[in-house]
Amino acid sequence: MESLTRIQAFVQVVDTGGFSAAARKLGKSKALISKYVRELEDELGARLLNRTTRQLSLTEVGQVYHRDASDILQRIDDLTASVRDTQREPRGLLRVSAPRTFSDSSLGDAIMDFLVAHPKISLDLDCEDRFVDLVEEGYDVAIRIAMLADSSLVARRLSSFREITCASPGFLAESGTPTHPRMLVELPCIIDTNSRLRSNWTFVDNGERISIPVKGRAELNNPTNVRQAALAGLGIARMPYFEARGAIEAGSLVEVLQEFQPPETAGIYAVYPHRRHLSTKVRAFVDHLVAWFDQRRAAGDVW
């Protein structure tokens, strides 16, 4: 403990620019702060500060020691705050970014359940189909459906995710049901311009990935409109299963080319900035989503 006190005194002397200022900051006498720094140098067997009557300056060793000591003290502060935070009820404003369509369905239910369970949380939910910059735009959490690349962000997987190819029974009766992905080249397709696949749809044929260029007169920028176009018989569509599920179960959409569907390539993730100390509200929200999706999955729901 004495060593930590000496380190704190040394860091404060450097950060505040002198012994008097450090003493005021720590609520101790100037003589005691000077004693702590001198004892630290004796303990290390190295001079950390060059002292003159007018100013202080760090030695070369002192510069390295100050940098690393400051980091250690910050870690201790973060650890203390983290432990204290776990004892507090989550509260405050939580800013969340989520895909528009997904938040209209399953995710919206999960978020409302969270708000009911945490009455001291206020929510700012921004639903749009783009990847926001969490740090630059001030979001706490983003829900993303993606293949995540390496980044400075932290991601927790919530669920698997799959897309299906489907069409209305009326369209298939009139145009024929495709039995191979290459047949899509000759059929009108509905393009989701926000999808990473856009007009090149990927399938698997005998273990080999194939990319099929598709086209049609309906190009739309969200899965809900894609589903509506498919229900209207405008062509064959590629969309998230959670978007088509109700229509599939009702028989108003029919899945095609199931055997050529590629294995799962994306997932549903909660993404948040990398922080050594994660706030209670963010931790509670992400843990809630993980548990909520686990429960739904156990009940047989799939995405």
Place of tokens 């990847």: 131
Of 86, 102, 127, the residue that ends a domain is: 86
The per-residue DSSP string of 2-38 comes to: HHHHHHHHHHHHHHHTSHHHHHHHHTS-HHHHHHHHH
**Residue 175 pLDDT grade (very low, low, confident, very high; cuts 50, 70, 90):** very high
CA distance 125 to 140: 10
pLDDT tens per residue, range 53-111: 677 889 999 999 999 999 888 888 877 766 666 557 788 889 988 877 665 566 778 88
Range of the domain at 104: 92-162+266-298
Domain count, the chain: 3
pTM for this one? 0.59
Spatial contact of 44 and 6, defined as CB atoms under 8 Å apart:
no
Residue 178 lies in a domain: yes
Token reading at 37: 């720094």
We report the CATH number of the domain holding residue 188 as 3.40.190.10
Counting every residue, how long is the chain?
303
- Check residue 207 and give its pLDDT: 85
Residue 63 lies in a domain: yes
We report the CATH number of the domain holding residue 41 as 1.10.10.10
- Check residue 76 and give its pLDDT: 84
Lowest mean pLDDT among 21-35, 129-143, 185-199, 236-250: 129-143
